[in-house]
Amino acid sequence: MKTHVHTSPENKSATANNKPEPRSAASAGQFKDNRAAALTQQKWQQAVQNCTSEIFQRIKIGNESVTTVTRLAERLEKPKNTVIAKFNEKLGNLPQVDEGKINNYLNYKKTKVSGGNLSDYDQYIGRLVESYKRSYMEREDNNFLTTMGTIESDQSYTTLVDPQGINYLDGEEDGASVGDNYDKNLACSLYAILALKPGFLGATTPKELHYILRLNPQTKSYDEDKEVAKIRLSAGLSYRAPGNAENTVSKFMNTLGEQHQGNKYIIDPSGAAHTFVLKYMGGRWKQVDNDHPDGVIPTAPNAAIRVIWN
């Protein structure tokens, strides 16, 4: 049996008044926007909670924020010595650094590393070290790098490479080129410049210098005649073509007296894709190079000399 409910006109009016009013287009749009924003925020919070490798935490490295190893270690929640050790591990064959060196890097005006997952400690230090490498040569010796960029227009360079003169770019070729990995057999120019410029670009060994020079396109082919000339001139070395009285190794040594014994000379011999240093050691002049780092009586005393550097 059906039950009929009779509604008086007054009750009908009250029921009608309790119905929600239809939304305007504007209010409906605002409702959708609010709901979308809420969902987005909810998803973001969930992503942050679940994140293991996503980039979600950002800091700036530089004058705006972290400028000391101490503060960096705090942000990474690691002991300071652990951060320094990890930094050196990532540097690989480049010169190792101490706290002061890292602090100098963090305060360098162009240092800026943003982004990265701070909880991924290994990855974050890796990002810092890549930034460190990019600005290494500029920070170590900006004058050298600046000179490298303009040396080809300098008279010292144009005279050296003049085809009617020394013609330095027409040297002997051995057919080998340096690569990313250090090769002692291709390191004679590294031994030579470090003998005359100890600590050049922060390097203490030819191997370190190899990895430093490979950081920059201007110096990475450091064994090519053009780059050899540019690097030596930019480093402040001078050269001369030998006269008749000194145009062989033995003749040149005969011109050297007691007053020269504190000097060292880079010798570029003719007819050989090699370079070596003459250094006074143990009471006589000796040849120092990648094959004889401790010095030996010159192996080719009658070899003609193209250029003498000091």
Name the residue with higher pLDDT: 75 or 267.
Answer: 267
Q: Would you say 61 and 106 are in contact if contact means Cβ atoms under 8 Å apart? A: yes
Going by the DSSP 8-state scheme, the letter that residue 151 receives in this structure is G
Write down the pTM of the prediction: 0.78
How far is it, in rounded angstroms, from Cα 72 to Cα 75? 5
Going by the DSSP 8-state scheme, the letter that residue 287 receives in this structure is E
What is the pLDDT, as a whole number, of residue 281?
Answer: 97
How far is it, in rounded angstroms, from Cα 183 to Cα 210? 9
How far is it, in rounded angstroms, from Cα 100 to Cα 281? 36
pLDDT, tens digit (0-9, with 9 covering 90-100), for 233-276? 999 999 999 999 999 999 999 999 999 999 999 999 998 889 99
Tokens 């996503």 identify what position? 54
N residues, the chain = 310
Burial class (CB in 10 A: 0-12, 13-18, 19+), 145: middle
pLDDT, tens digit (0-9, with 9 covering 90-100), for 107-161? 887 666 655 556 688 888 998 999 899 999 999 999 999 999 999 999 999 999 9
| Angle subtended by helix axes 99-106 and 80-91, to nearest 10 | 80
